[in-house]
């Protein structure tokens, strides 16, 4: 049984890791840190975990070595503390944005100065569907952006085939993307019933999409809108197809099926009839699945690719655990077999 520690375990992604690892047959969480809640049980922050056992919160300076350390820290803190934290971990998984981008120039442009030069290229991007080979045996794993995850999985087959000339991605997202700390924009009277576009251009997850899919930043355009939901991301990607691409409905089906054959957590949802004929985040809540679908414009030069996920699971804690399973040689679905709820 591997010992695990979660640094910053009182937030939403830390809570999801605690929940998922509670059912993992090979990993036991023995340490969970929170400066604010030190000395209190994890159920004090995560009431769904009451009575499930688990560690008592401790301060980060009391952290002891562990087989696996998950970092669930605010942006910028992992890179500032990586020199001290890395030696404590057999495998370290960082769920922040600090090590997602490998290109230092892109990091500077989208996130600012690099606080940990020399570490960036040592991390493997934690999305098994695109980096499974590199994740096998990896010791340092970076987290994924939830919006980037949905876009990448919607577009991955098309990018690999060279079909994308440019893409306009419109994302609808739930409030938990903003994290557990309140702000003016997440204050309930302001957030409730909102349909608010907060990133019409320049969302940082665009950089991940371009890097992971090897697309020019001049070919990817992203808009993000907050909607009335707590969890979930729906990416609707309008793909303008390259002139050389020979595309029809059968070719698109074949491409998606070949790309995702054998993927344990990607499902093709593309029916002609019925309420649930296309991806919908609501049916994925609590699960590590990504549902992917598409529609081809009748003129054949525009394809709408869709992907839906739970941002806290497949967009964060679930992909982190799936990546760890790959790195350690476990079955990918261990601790991740919850199918979601319906109705919610």
- Residue 223 phi, psi dihedral angles, 5° rounding: -130, 135
Q: Which 8-state DSSP code applies to residue 242?
A: P
Catalytic residues: 146
Radius of gyration of the chain, Cα coordinates, nearest whole angstrom: 20
Q: How many CA atoms does the CB half-sphere of 2 hold within 13 Å?
A: 22
Question: Which helix (H) or strand (E) element contains residue 2?
Answer: strand 2-7
Helix (H) or strand (E) holding 241: strand 233-241
List, in sequence order, every residue forming a beta bridge with 169; answer none if it has no partner: 222, 237
The contacts found for 56-59 with CB under 8 angstroms, 24 or more apart, are 56/32, 57/9, 57/10, 57/32, 57/33, 58/31, 58/32, 58/33, 58/34, 59/33, 59/34, 59/35
**Angstrom distance (rounded) from CA 261 to CA 71:** 31
Residue reference for tokens 């070595």: 65
Q: Which pair of tokens denotes residue 77?
A: 């803190």
Nearest to 209 by CA among 163, 149, 166: 149
- Cβ atoms < 10 Å from Cβ of 316: 27
């Amino acid at each position: 049984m591997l010992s695990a520690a979660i640094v910053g375990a009182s937030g939403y992604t830390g809570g999801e890791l605690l929940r998922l690892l509670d059912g993992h047959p090979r990993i036991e969480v023995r340490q969970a840190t929170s400066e604010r809640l030190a000395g209190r049980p994890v159920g004090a922050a995560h009431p769904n975990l009451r009575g499930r056992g688990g560690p008592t919160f401790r301060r980060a300076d009391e952290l002891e070595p562990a087989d696996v350390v998950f970092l669930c820290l605010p942006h910028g803190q992992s890179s500032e503390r990586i020199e001290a934290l890395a030696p404590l971990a057999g495998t370290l998984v960082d769920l922040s944005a600090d090590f997602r981008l490998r290109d230092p120039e892109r990091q500077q442009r989208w996130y600012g100065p690099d606080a940990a030069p020399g570490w960036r290229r040592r991390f493997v991007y934690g999305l098994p569907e695109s980096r499974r080979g590199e994740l096998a045996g990896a010791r340092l794993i970076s987290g994924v952006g939830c919006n980037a995850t949905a876009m990448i999985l919607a577009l991955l087959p098309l990018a690999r085939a060279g079909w994308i000339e440019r893409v306009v991605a419109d994302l609808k997202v739930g409030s938990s993307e903003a994290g557990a700390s309140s702000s003016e924009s997440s204050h309930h009277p302001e957030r409730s019933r909102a349909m608010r576009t907060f990133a019409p251009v320049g969302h940082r997850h665009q950089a991940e999409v371009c890097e992971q899919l090897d697309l020019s930043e001049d070919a990817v355009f992203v808009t993000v809108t907050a909607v009335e939901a707590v969890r979930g991301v729906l990416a609707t990607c309008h793909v303008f197809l390259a002139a050389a691409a020979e595309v029809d409905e059968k070719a698109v089906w074949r491409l998606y099926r070949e790309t995702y054959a054998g993927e344990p957590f990607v499902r093709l949802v593309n029916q002609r009839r019925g309420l649930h004929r296309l991806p919908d985040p609501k049916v994925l809540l609590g699960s590590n699945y990504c549902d992917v679908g598409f529609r081809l414009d009748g003129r054949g030069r525009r394809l709408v690719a869709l992907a839906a996920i739970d941002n806290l699971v497949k967009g964060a804690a679930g992909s982190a655990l799936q990546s760890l399973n790959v790195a350690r040689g476990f079955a990918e679905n261990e601790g991740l077999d919850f199918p979601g709820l319906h109705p919610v």
